[in-house]
Amino acid sequence: MNLSGVLFFPVTPFGADGALAGDVLAEHLRLGLEHQPGGVFVACGTGEFSALSEAEHAEAVRIATETVNGRVPVLAGAGGPIGTALAQARAAGDAGADGLLLMPPYLASGPHEGYTAYVAAVAEVLPTIIYQRGSVVLEPDQAVELARLPGVVGIKDGVGDIDRMQRIVLAVREEQPDFLFFNGLPTAELTMPAYRGIGVELYSSAVFCFAPEIAVAYLNGDEHLIKEFYAPLVRLRAKVPGYAVSLVKAGVRHRGLDVGGVRPPLVDPSPEHVEELVRLIKSGLTLVEG
């Protein structure tokens, strides 16, 4: 799978009635595509994957594939109970998605053989990137075993253990030099210098949702954004659980697209935190625009 550059994880817009706002999602995608992302990951973490019904998930993926129209790969979130994950995977395939980002299964846990079977079943449907986070924390030998499964094409890391990831990257790439790895930590740009040091160049960019100009400037080597924009943004994000998603939605709203608020258990940012975010966006745009 050919993924490169900034990876776009769109939010999922909701209307005043609380329902999925499909026309707004299509516009959100069109605006992002103007800045040439290397891939679109719809109905994933930033897209409030866990808050969507199966019907809403399928509709979001359909809108994404139709809007993107083959310009870049489209991957959909899948996960949770095995039946749900398989239903989401099949719906994504029917909608024309190119692959999946596989979230961890919830609540139930078992030995690594059970997780391997879980991944294998989903990866039979569409090419699959495993999301390492939460209950899924891999040892290098487990990563190698998963990478050998037909249909498994990559690992997204949301744990941030650089020592572990270095050992995983070395072990997997010894067999599969082209296997995909990418940094999936919230506000991944802040930690990209460390990930690049272990050979991981891809990353997801939540900032791309609301300030693609800043995200693209960082990709092109504007490293002073780390100190002046990304580090303060991470400090703001850390103030309240769930701000990794709700701040992004607030940023999109500030830039002029009404994507609604977040669904429980997430909460929308307080007015003072929105004001802080607005100041950061203004400062970041000033930096990149000179």
End-to-end alpha carbon distance in the chain: 36
Alpha carbons 249 and 13: distance in angstroms, whole number: 8
For 36, 62, 226, 278, the CA distances from 254, given in Å and listed in that order, are 21, 26, 22, 7
For residue 238, the tally of other CB atoms under 10 A from its CB is 12
For residue 134, the tally of other CB atoms under 10 A from its CB is 13
Q: Which amino acid makes up residue 183?
A: N
Q: What pLDDT is stored for residue 211 in this prediction?
A: 98
For residue 71, the tally of other CB atoms under 10 A from its CB is 11
Domains of the chain, by residue range, sit at: 6-215
Structure tokens at 152: 């498994």
Annotated binding site for pyruvate: 46
One-character DSSP codes across 121-178 = HHHTTS-EEEEE-TT----HHHHHHHHTSTTEEEEEE-S--HHHHHHHHHHHHHH-TT
Annotated binding site: 46
Alpha carbons 237 and 10: distance in angstroms, whole number: 18
Using alpha carbons, select from 133, 247, 265 the residue that is nearest to residue 187.
Answer: 247
Q: For the CA atoms of the chain, what is the radius of gyration?
A: 18
Strand partners, 131: 156
Alpha carbons 268 and 246: distance in angstroms, whole number: 5
Using alpha carbons, select from 247, 249, 242, 231 the residue that is nearest to residue 265.
Answer: 242
pTM for the whole structure: 0.96
By annotation, the residues acting in catalysis are: 131, 156
Per-residue pLDDT for the chain (290 aa), expressed as one digit of tens each? 889 989 999 999 999 999 999 999 999 999 999 999 999 999 999 999 999 999 999 999 999 999 999 999 999 999 999 999 999 999 999 999 999 999 999 766 778 899 999 999 999 999 999 999 999 999 999 999 999 999 999 999 999 999 999 999 999 999 999 999 999 999 999 999 999 999 999 999 999 999 999 999 998 888 789 999 999 999 999 999 999 999 999 999 999 999 999 999 999 999 999 999 999 999 999 999 87
| Residue range 6-215, CATH number | 3.20.20.70
